[in-house]
Amino acid sequence: MPARFDEIEIGQVVALGVAAVDPDVLGAFISAFTPGWVAERGAPDAMIYAIWAKLDAIASTDWPQIKRLGVDALRWVRNPPAGELLRGRMTVMAKDPVGEGKGIVICQHDLLDEAGRLVFSCLTRGVFAK
């Protein structure tokens, strides 16, 4: 990507970038948003979501995506430890034209750890320009 709706292919895989679970950020996040959580348990679910959201936002800055309609089917598999490097990817699952100038694209997003194991996944629906 970036690609207009008609150029996007089902099965297309897009790298969303990488981000580490920064130990200092982990401590600050726990203090601010997840009281009672301990860093030894790894990154809390809300932080994992925030890491994915940041990678997605940076990667999609230049895409012809008009609007994000939804984030569904959120799934947390594990809580990576401080220092773990996470890699984001997006796979186009389906697309549906809506009118003359746009279409809806449904994608699965995954965060994987350094060993390639799934950490987090979700489905998104977005409107893309034709």
Question: Is residue 121 pLDDT above 70, yes or no?
Answer: yes
Decide: 125 and 105 in contact? Cβ < 8 Å. yes
Q: What percent of the chain has pLDDT over 70?
A: 98
Per-residue pLDDT tens digits for 69-111: 999 999 999 999 999 999 999 999 999 999 889 999 999 999 9
Tokens found for residue 85: 């490097």
Q: Give the model's pLDDT for residue 99.
A: 86
Q: Give the model's pLDDT for residue 2.
A: 67
Per-residue pLDDT tens digits for 10-68: 999 999 999 999 999 999 999 999 999 999 999 999 999 999 999 999 999 989 999 99
Tokens found for residue 110: 């995954």
Mind listing the domains of the chain with CATH numbers?
5-129 (3.10.129.10)
Nearest to 80 by CA among 53, 117, 109: 117
Query: In which band, very low, low, confident or very high, does the pLDDT at 3 lie, cut at 50, 70 and 90?
Result: confident
Q: Give the model's pLDDT for residue 62.
A: 87
DSSP the chain: ----GGG--TT-EEEEEEEE--HHHHHHHHHHH-TT--GGG-S-HHHHHHHHHHHHHHHTTTS-EEEEEEEEEEEE---PPTT-EEEEEEEEEEEEEETTTEEEEEEEEEEE-TTS-EEEEEEEEEEEE-
